[in-house]
Every structure is written in C-alpha cells, then in structure tokens.
Structure 1
Amino acid sequence: MADVQEPTHRSGCPINLAVEVMGDRWSLVVLRDMMFGNRHYFRELLTGSQEGIASNILADRLRRLVAHGLLWRVDDQTHRQKIRYSLTEAGVQLVPVMAALGSWGRRHMPASHELSVRAELLEQGGPELWDRFMDELREQHLGIPRPPGTPSVFAELQAAYEAAIAETG
C-alpha cells in the first residue's frame, strides 16, 4: 500500500487552512446540501441543488471533503454501486460557520426570501439553536442519539422554507 502524503499548505494560518479545504466554488454548497437538504447520495446531491454542479466536479469535491475529514463514506447495503456520504464531527461543527455565511449573504447580497428564511431562523436562534441542530446532525450522520424530547431543528427549518415557498406561489 502506498504511503499517503500530507497535503502541502501555503501557511499555518487557520483562515488559510480552512480556505484551502472549503474555499472553492462548490465545497460549501455540497456541505450545505448535506446539512440543510438531508442529502447523502451522489445522485441526490447532483440533482437536488439549484446551482447545477457538474457530475465530475461533484465527484471531485466529495473525494476532497472525505480526504480532508469533513465527510465519510460507506457502501450502501441496498445497492452495491451506491455510496452513502455523511458528515464527520468536523463537518457537523461547521454549523456556526454556515449560519454566519447565511446571515452575511442574507444581509448583503440579493438573496431570495424563500432561500433566506432558514438563515434568518439560524441567526435568530443563535448558538442554542446551532447546538441543537448539531446534535440532530450527529444523530443523522454519526448515529449519536440526541437528547430525548429535543424538537427537530431540521423540521423547523424545512417547515419555514416550505411556508416561504407557498407564500411566493
């Protein structure tokens, strides 16, 4: 087996290191779709995103996110050619980053109302909501049960999104 070589980094700056992993055009969109769209499979990620990622780019980003420890993959028992992708703990811990990016984009860019509603809820809910959402993601992606009786943040975000879609007709 060949030795796996550590990637070379431009510097040890934490912002630079994060940008080297997630700073391309598609990585954050893939992570967003896994977190907020509950997508785990290549086909779901390919067809479920409004941004229209190309299949070769998606395959590359999934490989890179796995290599950098933000996702893990496992063969799906229902189909031998199907692979299920899930967030790792490092991926789950990106919730506050995604909340901050969504908040900034909602405030400073021409974001649509229906696509902003989840960002607004995450902003209003703050760290307490983010922690509950991360617990829910840990349950979905890592099999770690969340505290009993904890309401679903995913369901709350999805309901707000669907209500916003219904408003716009």
Structure 2
Amino acid sequence: MSHDDPAHKLKAIYSLTEKGIELLPIIAEISRGSRKYEPVDPLLAARGEARDRLGPDANRQQMDALRRVHLVS
C-alpha cells in the first residue's frame, strides 16, 4: 500500500500488507540458506544469526511488530 507523503509531493510512503508480512518466514529461510552457502555482509549475517538464536518464536514476534507499524488504521 502507499499514500502520498504530505511533506514532499513527489514522494510516496509505502507500507506492508498482511500478505507481505506473511512472507517473512520464507524470507528468513532464504536468509539462513544464503548465510550457509554464500559470503554475506557481516552486519546482515549477525542480524540473521541473532534471529536464529531467538528460536521458532522469532518469526511471530517480528511479524507482530511489523503489523503494529504497517497495519495501523
């Protein structure tokens, strides 16, 4: 979804939809695989590894946080 940025008429503000948020577990698995087989940026790798340490509940927690930010009425 998007809407015009009131501060700049040539900009738009984009937000995730529920469908986009539900892709997070798939994206997390792709990230895990890329860290295993390809060299990646150390900062990005550290974020993924921290997420992996949080265990199976990490996806739900991050999806809930995304919903609070992006699905605000």
- Which TM-score band applies after superposition, normalised by the shorter structure? 0.7 to 0.9
Distance 1:82 1:112, change over 3 A: closer
Structure 2, gaps ≥5 residues long: none
| CA displacement, residues 37-93 of structure 1 (integer Å, 9 cap, x when unaligned) | xxxxxxxxxxxxxxxxxxxxxxxxxxxxxxxxxxx1111122222200111101111
Cα-Cα RMSD: 1.6
Whichever residue aligns with residue 10 of structure 2, its letter is Q
Alignment counterpart, residue 71 of structure 2, candidates 139, 142, 145: 142
Percent identity (aligned): 36
Alignment counterpart, residue 132 of structure 1, candidates 44, 61, 65: 61
Q: What aligned pairs does 1:30-109 form with structure 2 within 5 A after superposition?
A: 72-109=1-38
Alignment counterpart, residue 116 of structure 1, candidates 11, 30, 45: 45
Aligned residues: 73
Name the TM-score, length of structure 1 as normaliser: 0.40
Name the TM-score, length of structure 2 as normaliser: 0.84
Greater relative CO, 1 or 2 (CA 8 Å, sep 6+): 2
Runs of at least 4 residues of structure 1 off by over 3 A? none
